[in-house]
Amino acid sequence: MRSPLTPEMATQEVQLNETLAHLKTESETLKTKLEEERAKLHDVELHQVAEKVEGLGQFVMKTRRTLKGHGNKVLCMDWCKDKRRIVSSSQEHAVTMPCTWVMACAYAPSGCAVACGGLDNKCSVYPLSLDKNENLAAKKKSVAMHTNYLSACSFTNSDMQILTSSGDGTCALWDVESGQLLQSFHGHAADVLCLDLAPSETGNTFVSGGCDKKANVWDMRSGQCIQSFETHESDINSVRYYPSGDAFASGSDDATCRLYDLRADREVAIYSKESIIFGVSSVDFSLSGRLLFGGYNDYTINVWDVLKGTRVSILFGHENRVSTLRVSPDGTAFCTGSWDHTLRIWA
């Protein structure tokens, strides 16, 4: 039971409530202003601009390789820059990892190490060696430490820094050598599920997506959220920059993929069909940005014409959810990982 308020405390409380109400009003006013500013520039739709562009023909893409080797659901994969190697992670009973779910993995730019993590709340870096006798698990280096699961990780331009996203609602930038936290990114209101770094020419930014249905663009140096987009109707499972760096795509549990243009500061396309009702787990662009590949929970891959907003192909093959999808660095193929324990390479 509260002790009775003194006159001073009562006045203070009234003042605080007034300030809070004032701030709330200002926040509502600003949100409206933001919507108005964005709407003013919404003079046309992307697919209208693209009407005169030649349509795409029939696409014949097939599974060219099926990689079997995981004993359980494949959760994540990444390509090595040499285009010949892939790292993938899964829900295994692994001897070397302290937990069973490895949800994130990434190849170092040099190709000499991989980073991974998951339910252990950490991101660890493992050096790679072609010497099969070497006990690489012993050389593992714990780099990142979150207070909840690690959902995604990516090396920045070098092997020296790693960017992570977590179920604890934050993203963080770490120095690999010392394990030191260099910058943390606060702003999501729930688990952050994915991230992608801007192409290096575009500067030091990255985009993250989360269970709060928001996609946030961050300045890596200041830790500031510079743009935020909230049009999805459910968790955002995957975000990927358009190759020019001026836009990014997202895939969500709301069964849509969307394209957000950073300079127009708004969503400019939605890739959806009434017949597609299962969530998108993973998206990636072809090299020119014309095609958007989406891996879905209904076991399929839908291929979209980014400019016209239409679906150009639907690919079958996996026998369970597609959980991860990445186009190869040279753009000649893309790889998918699935809960059916396999990885497939498509071209």
Q: Taking a C-beta distance cutoff of 8 angstroms, is the pair 114, 126 a contact?
A: yes
Nearer Cβ to another protein (146/308):
308
User: From the list 265, 300, 311, 320, which residue makes contact with another protein (rule: CB under 8 A)?
Assistant: 265
Q: Taking a C-beta distance cutoff of 8 angstroms, is the pair 229, 215 a contact?
A: yes
Residues from 316 through 345 that contact another protein (CB under 8 A)? 327, 330-334, 345
Three-class SS of residue 249?
A: strand
Tokens representing residue 149 in the block:
């699961």
Q: In whole angstroms, how close is the CB of 20 to another protein at the nearest point?
A: 6
Q: Taking a C-beta distance cutoff of 8 angstroms, is the pair 330, 291 a contact?
A: no
User: From the list 33, 139, 221, 273, which residue makes contact with another protein (rule: CB under 8 A)?
Assistant: 33
- 191 Rama class: left (phi>0) / alpha (psi -120 to 50) / beta: beta
- 200 Rama class: left (phi>0) / alpha (psi -120 to 50) / beta: alpha
Nearer Cβ to another protein (122/213):
213
Q: Does 44 bind another protein (CB under 8 A)?
A: yes
Q: Does 71 bind another protein (CB under 8 A)?
A: no
Residues from 98 through 157 that contact another protein (CB under 8 A)? 130
Q: In whole angstroms, how close is the CB of 178 to another protein at the nearest point?
A: 29
For residues 38 and 35, give the distance between their C-alpha atoms in angstroms, rounded to a whole number.
5
Q: Which segments of 156-308 are extended strands (E)? A: 161-166, 170-175, 181-186, 192-197, 205-210, 215-219, 225-229, 236-241, 247-252, 257-261, 266-271, 280-285, 291-296, 301-305
Nearer Cβ to another protein (93/132):
132
User: From the list 1, 60, 95, 138, which residue makes contact with another protein (rule: CB under 8 A)?
Assistant: 60
Q: Does 287 bind another protein (CB under 8 A)?
A: yes
Q: In whole angstroms, how close is the CB of 140 to another protein at the nearest point?
A: 17
Distances (CA, A) of 126 to 18, 85, 86, 172, 251: 54, 15, 14, 19, 29
Instruction: State the number of binding residues for another protein (CB under 8 A).
Output: 69
Nearer Cβ to another protein (38/119):
38
Q: In whole angstroms, how close is the CB of 330 to another protein at the nearest point?
A: 7
> How many other CB atoms sit within 10 Å of the CB of residue 222?
11
Q: HSE, CB side, 13 Å, CA atoms: give it for residue 283.
A: 32
User: From the list 5, 11, 55, 69, which residue makes contact with another protein (rule: CB under 8 A)?
Assistant: 69
Tokens representing residue 108 in the block:
């170092």
Q: Give the interface segment with another protein, choosing from 146-154, 196-204, 241-249, 315-323 (CB under 8 A).
A: 241-249
Q: Taking a C-beta distance cutoff of 8 angstroms, is the pair 50, 307 a contact?
A: yes
Three-class SS of residue 48?
A: helix
Q: In whole angstroms, how close is the CB of 286 to another protein at the nearest point?
A: 4
Q: In whole angstroms, how close is the CB of 331 to another protein at the nearest point?
A: 5
Nearer Cβ to another protein (64/221):
64
Q: In whole angstroms, how close is the CB of 265 to another protein at the nearest point?
A: 5
Tokens representing residue 63 in the block:
């599974």
Q: Does 248 bind another protein (CB under 8 A)?
A: no
Q: Taking a C-beta distance cutoff of 8 angstroms, is the pair 89, 117 a contact?
A: no
Q: Give the interface segment with another protein, choosing from 41-49, 94-102, 140-148, 275-283 (CB under 8 A).
A: 41-49
Nearest of 169, 173, 155, 153 to residue 103 by alpha carbon: 153
Q: In whole angstroms, how close is the CB of 287 to another protein at the nearest point?
A: 4
Nearer Cβ to another protein (131/274):
131
Question: Which residues contact another protein (rule: CB under 8 A)?
Answer: 12-13, 16-17, 19-20, 23-24, 26-27, 30-31, 33-34, 37-38, 41-46, 49-50, 53, 56, 59-61, 64-65, 67, 69, 83, 85, 130, 187, 224-228, 242-244, 246-247, 261, 263-266, 268, 286-291, 306-307, 327, 330-334, 345, 347
